Homo-oligomer: A and B are copies of this chain.
């Protein structure tokens, strides 16, 4: 168990850490990128992903020496320990690396803390828009210093939604029908950026197959705003495995589960 004073200190220090990681990212964008591929030609990693992960790991261990850290770049080729006991920090040093490389925009840096399995602290840094979305479970969700309001509980027919392109083409879990029942379809190419649009009420929902570092931070912030984070067929989420995740308003979830169940 982590007490409230400790979480308040963590929250303060991790916000500072995210602004440092943003600064490092902007500086490195002015130098030539080193780009490598991982599982496929379009699964990229750059020196910035690696340097951000190093910076975040180092600082997290200073802030919380008991931290167990699951980071995209170090964990990518390893089986993730499914144990959620204690303080598990989950980090994505650059979310939307393909956007980062091809667009120099529409990417994020994400950090989350799960305490004994409970989503507790979440941070999504929208680097180019200079906006840090953050939440401490039970203490409200914010963008920079502004408190976010709960988005309206819109229905699927009244909402724009985001769906992963490859899953849509394969019509995974009836996603073409979901898209056709929505007001419109969007794809931004970064889980963090897509979840930010749900937090702001600009999308009614977002679904994609996601790894732990893609969803951990968004789950904390979304739940704090009354949004649901489940699987696309209404199963509870195990944050340390891969799932086809749905982050959406309650009404959008109900409308989608009528299609997928």
- Cα A183 to Cα B169 with chains together (Å): 15
Decide: B189 and A165 in contact? CB cutoff 8 A: no
A236 is an interface residue with CB less than 8 A from chain B: no
Q: Which of B98, B157, B183 contacts A102 (CB 8 A)?
A: B183
CA distance A48 to B41 in the complex (A): 44
Contact B197 A103 (CB under 8 A): yes
The interface on chain A, measured as residues whose beta carbon lies within 8 A of the other chain's beta carbons, has a size of 29
Contacts of A189 in B (CB 8 A): 160, 184-186
Residues of B within 8 A of A186 (CB): 187-189
Most chain-B Cβ atoms within 10 A of its Cβ — which of A41, A42, A99, A169?
A169
Of all chain B residues, the one with the shortest Cβ separation from A204 is B102
B residues less than 8 Å from A103 (CB atoms)? 160, 197, 200, 202-203
Question: How far, in angstroms, from A200 to B197 measured CA to CA in the complex?
Answer: 23
Q: How far is the CA of A197 from the CA of B99 in the complex (A)?
A: 12
Classify the interface of chain A: helix, strand, loop or mixed.
mixed
Q: How far is the CA of A105 from the CA of B157 in the complex (A)?
A: 20
- A168 interface contact, C-beta 8 A: yes
Residues on the B chain within 8 Å of A185, using CB: 165-166, 187, 189
Q: A153-181 interface mask toward B, CB cutoff 8 Å, 1 = contact, 0 = none?
A: 00001011000011011000000100110
- The distance in angstroms between the C-alpha atoms of A202 and B128, with both chains bound, is 14
Also in contact, A179 and B169, with CB within 8 A (given A103-B197, A105-B202) = yes
- Inter-chain contacts of A188 with B (CB < 8 A): 186, 188
User: A160, B202: Cβ atoms under 8 Å?
Assistant: no
Shortest beta-carbon distance from A106 to chain B in Å:
8
Given contacts A102-B184, A103-B160, 11 further A-B contacts (CB under 8 A): A42-B184, A98-B160, A98-B183, A98-B184, A102-B183, A104-B202, A165-B184, A166-B180, A169-B176, A169-B179, A169-B180
